[in-house]
Each structure stands twice: as C-alpha cells, then as structure tokens.
C-alpha cells in the first residue's frame, strides 16, 4: 500500500547522529541522559534510542508507564501534581519519583515504597525565548523556591531536579547558570546522591562546544559528589524527522497561497502556540513567493511564507523539517482532518510504515 500524504517520516540515520553525541556526553562527563517523553514518545524507534540513552523521564502516569514498557532502563516519574491513584500506579513502573512541591512530597512520600524520591527546585533563573515556556516566570508553579523548606525535607529525598532551560544553545549561559546552581544550592546538593539538570540544552547542535560542555558537567558532578542527569527531548531528535505534505490548491488573495493537506492546529501545534514559522529547507531564494497554509477552517492556520525556484502546483510535495519534537505527542483530530501516518526510514534505508490512522481512530477518540 502506498504511503499517502500527510505523514511524519523519522530518519534513523539522522536520529543516530544525535544519539551518538548523547552517548559521547555520558562517556566523557559521566552525566546520564533520560529521554523527555513529553517531547517525543514515538516508541517505534525506542529500540535504537535505548542503546544510547539511560532511560526516560515523564510528566504523567501514562508517560511513566510507556517509558517502562517500551523503553525500559531507568524510569523517572515527575508530575506537576499527582493524585493518590496516580501514586498507586506510578510506583509499579518508576525507579525515581520527583515531586513538584513540599505538600505533595509530604502527602505521598510514605506511599511510594522503595522508589528514590526527588524534589523539583525552582532556582528563579531560566533561559527561554518564550514567556509561555519559561519555568521561572513570575508566579511559576514549577518547583520549590524556599531554600529553608528544601533543607527541612532533605532527610526524605535522595535527589533534586532543576528544569530551567528551553532550546538553550548558548554554552556561556549554561556555564554561568551551572555556577549559579553550585553557589546557591551546593550545600543542598552535597547532601544528595543525584541531580537532574532537566532538558532544554541544545548540545547536539552543529558547532556546539561539546567537550567544554562535558568538562563543566564532570566538574560540577565531582565537586558536589552527585550523579548528574540530563533530560534531552528535542535535543535527542532534532532534525531527524519531517512532516511530508502535498499541495491541494493554490489560490490568490493579494499573495499566492498554497494549501497543503495538513494543518498547524492539528499536526504541528507548537508552531501555532509559539507563533513560529515551519522550517521548509527546500525553499530558497527563488522568485516564486507563496504562503503555505493548512486546510483547516482556522483563519490563522499558516505554516509561513517562503520562496521557491519554480511555481507550486497541486500535487507538489512540501517537506516540513524538524517535525519530531512536540508534534506526534500533540497531534489531534481538529476539523476531523486525516491524521498523518508515522513512518520510519530505518538505518538500512527501508521505509517502515509503523502506524496509519483511519476513521475508526477518529470515531473512537470521541464519545
């Protein structure tokens, strides 16, 4: 059966390039990496990823469960707020559980059995281009701020988690923030066995000073006597997938608009949330300018405006790159649009269609 558009295509060779850098960081720095499932949970490639990573970290019960069942290895469980029923289930699958608040820690610490317990700390510093994603924004509910409260519960925890970055590709910022954590939380961390620095470090980016990054991590770990964890999400899968779409119509309203068989609202929601354009690398500096738009009824369903070397016609394939992170985990049935299939280009070059979605899937997602 042919693979019709739209579909997500994951390239294992591109994915492998990121994974090798992640393994290098572990070997040189000693820092372990656990995949952030909130970003990427497409378990059809976990067989490759788990060869290079140490486990998974989650934001909910279901993510914890899929991490254990499909990835294995270390399974970290975090949630902004667990329910009692969540705790009963989470402890069946997790190795570590990280509480977001002192109140949750006190309420549930006696119910988690032999799990290692951690606490999320808000260091009140961050790196983010978007207020929406800034974990240290004003009134943030993410993590504990009061250091005295943290010190009072040290007997109950074995580790801590700081998640304070979003797409941070600035090594200087990372280095300064690491110094800040050492200066302000060093006495706390010396009482613990492990610390997660969260995700949002773009250390797989081409040209990133990887050796300096590793040296700083090892120095931090050795000085404080803690096992360092990283939680790469987009860092692990960046530039490894594309959303393949097809032009259905070209219309003109002051500008030329090419409508494709996909949608930002349904298939690349982060573009809409953060008001960022899609990456279409095949477009260039041609003289044919088009707005690429989705086919939902949302007026603002637009991927961006691009220039092409030749005119676009119905049937033309448009490939949207960097389409792995926060896409497949957020796709939805808005407008009842056809859900993109998921395909994997394996290391040997073969295309494996791992999932198709049909009307029955749409029907069963509703009541």
What whole-number distance in Å separates Cα of residue 352 and Cα of residue 341?
A: 11
Q: What is the pLDDT of residues 105-154, one digit of tens each?
A: 999 999 999 999 999 999 999 898 888 888 889 999 999 999 999 999 99
E runs forming strands in 17-59: 32-36, 55-57
pLDDT (mean) for 156-174? 94
Label residue 1 by pLDDT band (50, 70, 90): low
Query: Which of these, 134, 196, 142, lies nearest to 168 by C-alpha position?
Result: 134
In a domain, 149, yes or no: yes
Note whether residue 340 is domain-resident: no
Q: Is residue 51 assigned to a domain? A: yes
Alpha-carbon radius of gyration of the chain: 22
- 31 and 165 together in one domain: yes
Residue 8 domain-assigned (yes or no) = no
Q: How far is CA 118 from the centre of its chain?
A: 21
Euclidean distance between CA atoms 105 and 97, whole angstroms: 10
Instruction: Show the tokens assigned to 147.
Output: 């250091």
Count of all residues that appear for the chain in the document:
367
Instruction: Find the helix packing angle between 210-224 and 12-29, rounded to 10°.
Output: 40
Say whether both 307 and 217 belong to one domain. Answer: no
Model confidence at 2, in pLDDT bands (50, 70, 90)?
A: confident
Question: Can you tell me whether residue 305 is helix, strand or coil?
Answer: strand
Q: Is 76 exposed, middle or buried (0-12, 13-18, 19+ CB in 10 A)?
A: buried
Average pLDDT of the residues of the chain: 96
- DSSP 8-state class, residue 131: G
Please check whether residues 201 and 262 belong to one and the same domain: no
Distance CA 303, CA 262 (A): 10
Spell out the long-range contacts of 211-215 with Cβ–Cβ below 8 A and sequence spacing 24 or more: 211/28, 212/171, 212/175, 213/25, 213/29, 213/171, 213/174, 214/24, 214/25, 214/28, 214/29, 214/31, 215/28, 215/29
In a domain, 350, yes or no: no
Asked if residues 238 and 204 have their Cβ atoms less than 8 Å apart, the reply is: yes
Which helix (H) or strand (E) is 307 found in, with range?
strand 302-308
* CA pair distance 233, 229, nearest whole angstrom: 13
Question: Average of pLDDT values for 78-100?
Answer: 97
- pLDDT per position as a tens digit, 8-61: 999 999 999 999 999 999 999 999 999 999 999 999 999 999 999 999 999 999
Model confidence pLDDT, tens digit, residues 201-249: 999 999 999 999 999 999 999 999 999 999 999 999 999 999 999 999 9
**What is the pLDDT averaged over residues 257-264?**
98
Contacts of 160 (CB under 8 A, 6+ apart): 118, 119, 120, 121, 150, 185, 188, 189, 192, 194, 195, 196
Residue 167 pLDDT > 90, yes or no?
no
| Average pLDDT estimate for 343-360 | 97
357 belongs to a structural domain: no
* 262 and 309 co-located in one domain: yes
Closest CA to 123 of 197, 192, 193: 197
Looking at the structure of the chain, the number of domains it has is: 2
DSSP state of 339: P
C-beta neighbour count of 315 within 10 angstroms: 8
Asked whether residue 267 falls in the same domain as residue 210, the answer is: no
Structural domain range at position 223: 13-237
The pLDDT of residue 243:
98
- Do 203 and 90 sit in the same domain of this protein? yes
CATH of the domain at 253: 2.40.37.10
Average pLDDT, integer, range 340-360: 97
Percent of the chain residues past pLDDT 90, beyond the cut: 94
Domain boundary among 237, 264, 291: 237
Residues whose CB is less than 8 angstroms from the CB of residue 54 and which lie 6 or more positions away in sequence, other chains included: 26, 32, 33, 34, 73, 74, 229
Position 236 scores a pLDDT of 98
What is the average pLDDT across 73-86? 98
Are 163 and 261 within one domain?
A: no
């Amino acid at each position: 059966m042919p693979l019709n558009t739209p579909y997500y295509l994951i390239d294992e060779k591109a994915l492998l390039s990121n994974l090798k850098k992640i393994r290098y960081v572990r070997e040189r720095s000693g820092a372990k990496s656990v995949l952030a499932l909130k970003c990427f949970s497409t378990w059809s490639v976990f067989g490759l990823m788990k060869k290079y990573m140490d486990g998974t970290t989650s934001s909910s019960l279901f993510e914890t469960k899929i991490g254990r069942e499909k990835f294995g290895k270390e399974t970290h469980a975090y949630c902004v707020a667990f329910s009692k029923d969540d705790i009963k289930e989470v402890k069946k699958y997790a190795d570590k559980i990280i509480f977001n608040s002192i109140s949750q820690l006190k309420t549930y610490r006696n119910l988690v059995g032999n799990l290692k317990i951690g606490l999320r700390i808000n260091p009140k510093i961050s790196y983010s281009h978007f207020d929406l994603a800034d974990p240290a924004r004003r009134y943030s509910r993410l993590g504990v701020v009061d250091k005295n409260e943290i010190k009072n519960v040290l007997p109950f925890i074995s580790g801590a988690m700081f998640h304070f970055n979003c797409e941070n590709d600035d090594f200087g910022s990372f280095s300064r923030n690491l110094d800040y954590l050492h200066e302000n939380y060093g006495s706390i961390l010396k009482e613990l066995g492990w610390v997660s620095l969260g995700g949002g470090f773009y250390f797989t980016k081409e040209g990133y000073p990887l050796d300096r990054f590793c040296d700083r991590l090892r120095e931090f770990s050795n000085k404080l006597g803690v096992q360092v964890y990283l939680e790469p999400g987009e860092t692990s899968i960046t530039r490894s997938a594309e959303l393949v779409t097809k032009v259905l119509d070209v219309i003109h309203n002051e500008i030329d608009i090419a409508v494709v068989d996909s949608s930002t609202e349904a298939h690349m929601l982060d573009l809409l949330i953060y008001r960022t354009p899609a990456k279409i690398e095949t477009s260039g500096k041609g003289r044919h300018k088009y707005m690429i738009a989705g086919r939902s009824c949302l007026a603002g369903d637009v991927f961006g405006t691009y220039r092409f070397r030749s005119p676009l016609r119905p049937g033309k394939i448009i490939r949207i790159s960097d389409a792995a992170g926060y896409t497949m985990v957020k796709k939805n049935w808005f407008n009842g649009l056809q859900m993109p299939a998921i395909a994997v280009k394996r290391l040997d070059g073969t295309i494996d269609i791992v999932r198709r979605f049909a009307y029955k899937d749409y029907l069963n997602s509703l009541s």
